[in-house]
Amino acid sequence: MIQPAIRLIPARPDQKPVIANLIQLYLHDMTEFMPFPVGADGRYAYDFLDRFWRFPYLIMSGEEIAGFALVIDDCPLTGRAPCWFMAEFFVLKAYRGRGLARSAVRQALKTHPGQWHIAVPHANKAAQAFWSKVLSLQGPISRDIYFDGDDWLLHQFVAS
């Protein structure tokens, strides 16, 4: 079976509600290891979409939405700017384990060359393993950092 092409496409402003919907699935997955409050409307509270809507992307598998990435041009954990930062990255469970996420990350790094910071909460063991594996070719300098009440692993590297 031929795998559909994986594409990281810039999200248009009218696709912001699509990413807002995907964020609900993202937060649902993350409640396994981090608490997120559910509002009276039954949705997870997420107040960062406007702040992180600088370089938004949909991850596509063929013509199907497989996830999203929100890239910003400064690091909220360290205050470094300019610096690319993967503010949010999510692939739907049905698309995991097939190299799709790795391809999307490579495309993001190629699209935004320069200094990068990627941070992962210590509590998210699956994401820790994913980012360590995907970034191994980048030769990141990784260190622990405490931010906003949580312990994170911060990966610093330069993408060209």
In tens digits, the chain (160 residues) has pLDDT values of 667 889 999 999 999 999 999 999 999 999 988 888 899 999 999 999 999 999 999 999 999 999 999 999 999 999 999 999 999 999 999 999 999 999 999 999 999 999 999 999 999 999 999 999 999 999 999 999 999 888 999 999 999 9
* Residue 50 structure tokens: 């406007």
d(CA 40, CA 59): 30
CA angle, residues 114, 105, 15, in degrees to nearest 5: 100
d(CA 46, CA 133): 28
Model's pTM, two decimal places?
0.95
* Residue 25 structure tokens: 């699935």
Q: At residue 103, what are phi and psi to the nearest 5 degrees?
A: -65, -40
Q: Which amino acid is at 141?
A: I
Quick check: helix, strand or coil at residue 65?
strand
d(CA 56, CA 72): 8
Q: Could you state, in order of their start, the residue ranges of all structural domains in the chain?
A: 6-159
**By CB neighbour count within 10 A (0-12 exposed, 13-18 middle, 19+ buried), where does 63 fall?**
exposed
* Residue 151 structure tokens: 């312990």
Task: Judge contact between 155 and 144, C-beta under 8 A.
Answer: no
* pLDDT computed for residue 55 by the predictor: 98
Q: CATH homologous superfamily of domain 6-159? A: Gcn5-related N-acetyltransferase (GNAT) (3.40.630.30)
Strands of the sheet containing 141-147, edge to edge, are 6-10, 55-61, 64-72, 84-91, 114-121, 150-159, 141-147
H-helix or E-strand containing 49?
helix 49-52
